[in-house]
Amino acid sequence: MKLQQLRYLAAIAENDLNITAAAERLHTSQPGVSKQLKQLEDELGFPIFLRQGRNLTRVTPAGKRVIERAQRILKEVQSIKRLADEQKGDGRGSLSIGTTHTQARYVLPPVIRKFRERYPDVELHLHQGTSEQIADMAARDRIDFAINTGSQDLFSNLVLLPCYRWHRRIVVPYGHPLANESKITIETLGKYPIVTYVFGFSGPSSLQQIFARAGITPHVALTARDADVIKTYVRLGFGVGIVASMAVDPREDADLVSIDASHLFPWHVTWAGYPQGALLRGYMYEFLQLLAPHLSKRLVDRAGNAATPQDVEGLFADVELPVYR
């Protein structure tokens, strides 16, 4: 049994049992992957996958257990490599981050600039996606850190570290009836079509539930996952925009009126997560502290050693999270 065979096996499982896609991901040939898979199954004495012709159709019960163990072994191999790199202490390596457009566009640039100044030889890989896509990247072990807001149930395999709080703001063009309102009520907001995030309409603090508590059914004109797209359609007159506070740029959005909505909607907490049991390199700890100064190495390690997510929450119970405005 070879590590290469386990890598091929994991790649097949992570590419929906598509051997061609697995081979492309590993930069090798499809016949080579098929051959190694057959050799592994012959050595084990049972099939890992069921087949229909040349296609893999599903994982056998025993195969599922093999894949789970193979993925754990590959993660341990990665940790050993990181340990070796850390011992060299040469400031080289890579850092892969999965995050949303809002974080990548508005929060991370100054963090990454400072990080680059300290670690010019570390390769940075920034992957943008939805919460579901980020969770998939984490499950496939393609990122070191996930940075996201909410949706914690999608990331049960990660240690989640709260970073900062933020609230929503309302944006409208100059001349809009709400532009001169000093403190907008939910009833007033409900009179206008709304343009906001897709994720704003799911979960316990969703806009729909907030409006429902006031007995109002909001008129949603358009939803998008990109704050810049939302602001574009606000400018076109589609409706009143509701965006994250950090997504309003005083210079770039000077043609829009930004209105505080913290009294209407609850605070949100953005967190950074990493795989349970992962070995973090020194520059990874520094990245976390650049992102959120309260995330010291000691606190991050204590969170990583915590037995349950509730224990992690307890570590941060007395930490006052910074507010990102």
Q: What is the CATH number of the domain that holds 60?
A: 1.10.10.10
Give the separation between CA 222 and CA 306, rounded to whole angstroms.
42
Residues 66 and 104 both lie in one domain: no
Residues 96 and 110 both lie in one domain: yes
Q: How many residues does the chain have?
A: 325
Question: How far does the chain reach from its first CA to its final CA, in angstroms?
Answer: 54
Residues of 234-258 as b/e, b for ≥16 C-beta within 10 angstroms? beeeebbbbbbbbbbeeeebeebbb
Which amino acid is residue 233, in one-letter code? Y
Residues 209 and 232 both lie in one domain: yes
3-state helix, strand, coil in the chain (%, to 5): 45, 20, 30
Give the separation between CA 128 and CA 104, rounded to whole angstroms.
7
Residue 321 lies in a domain: no
Residues 72 and 212 both lie in one domain: no
Give the separation between CA 289 and CA 65, rounded to whole angstroms.
37
Tens-binned pLDDT, residue by residue, of the chain (325 aa) = 888 889 888 889 888 898 888 888 888 898 999 998 989 989 999 999 998 888 898 899 999 999 988 988 888 887 777 677 666 665 778 899 999 998 999 999 999 999 999 999 999 999 998 888 999 888 888 899 999 988 888 898 899 999 999 999 999 999 999 998 878 999 999 999 999 987 544 454 577 788 888 888 888 899 888 899 999 999 999 999 999 999 999 899 999 999 999 998 888 899 999 988 888 888 999 999 999 999 999 999 999 988 888 899 999 988 989 888 7
Residues 27 and 77 both lie in one domain: yes
Residue with tokens 């990181």: 82
Give the number of domains in the chain.
3
Query: Counting Cβ atoms within 10 Å, is residue 228 exposed (0-12), middle (13-18) or buried (19+)?
Result: middle
Give the separation between CA 237 and CA 7, rounded to whole angstroms.
51
Residue 45 lies in a domain: yes
Pick the closest to residue 143 from 5, 284, 270 (CA basis): 284
Ramachandran class of 104: left when φ > 0, alpha when ψ lies in -120 to 50, beta otherwise: alpha
Residues 64 and 213 both lie in one domain: no
Residue 90 phi/psi, 5° resolution? Answer: -100, 5
Residues 57 and 123 both lie in one domain: no
The residue segments making up the domain with residue 160 are 92-166+268-316
Q: What is the CATH number of the domain that holds 289?
A: 3.40.190.10
Pick the closest to residue 243 from 223, 263, 221 (CA basis): 223
Which amino acid is residue 321, in one-letter code? L
Give the separation between CA 265 and CA 165, rounded to whole angstroms.
13
Residues 146 and 220 both lie in one domain: no
Residues 179 and 211 both lie in one domain: yes
Give CA torsion, residues 224, 167, 115, 113, to 10 deg: 70
Residue 54 lies in a domain: yes
Residues 247 and 279 both lie in one domain: no
Residue 174 lies in a domain: yes
